[in-house]
Homo-oligomer: A and B are copies of this chain.
Amino acid sequence: MVVDQLQAQFSDEELDRLFQAFADTTRRDIVRRVTMGAYSVSGLAALYAMSFAAVQKHVAVLERASLVSKEKRGREQIVRANHDGLQRARRLLDEYEVIWRQRADRIADLLAETATAEPGRTQTGTRQTRNTQSNKTEGKTEG
């Protein structure tokens, strides 16, 4: 089953945090910057038109999402990129893409097969009479 294949290595909460972390322009910019080189928190704060505390919160969000890590260096806190989170997000999107491609191929095959046999459209209703798979396919309209 594809469901198991997908998201096998990520918990839902983890992914929520990960994508939520990316869903803010300031945080994406912080990720970009620390990907290119380490910054102190105050160093980052100086770059944005918002309070130190606000930037501190953004860094905290990135840290909880495992996209960034902090390391105490004297009185400063040095922020560095954590490549793992980036890779995890990318890998998930890759897997969606794999599924999509599999489906595209499958559709191409079906079209080639049934081109002469059944010219009409497949059923689009919610209730399907024949549920061939044990899987929950309620509401599915098109293979």
Contacts and interface: CB of A to CB of B under 8 A. Distances in A.
Given A16-B24, A74-B124, A38 B97 contact: no
Contact of A78 (B20, B31, B43, B124): B124
Contacts of A109: none
A114 to B, nearest CB: 16
Contacts of A99: 32, 35-36
A108 interface: no
A39 B93 contact: no
From A43, A47, A94, residue with most partner B Cβ within 10 Å: A43
B15 A3 contact: no
Contact of A83 (B2, B81, B100): B100
B126 A2 contact: no
A141 interface: yes
Nearest to A93: B90
Contacts of A132: none
Interface string A16-42: 101110111100100111011111101
20 contacts: A3-B32, A16-B25, A20-B20, A23-B23, A32-B96, A32-B99, A35-B96, A35-B103, A38-B141, A40-B124, A42-B139, A43-B141, A46-B139, A47-B136, A73-B124, A76-B124, A76-B125, A83-B100, A86-B96, A89-B93
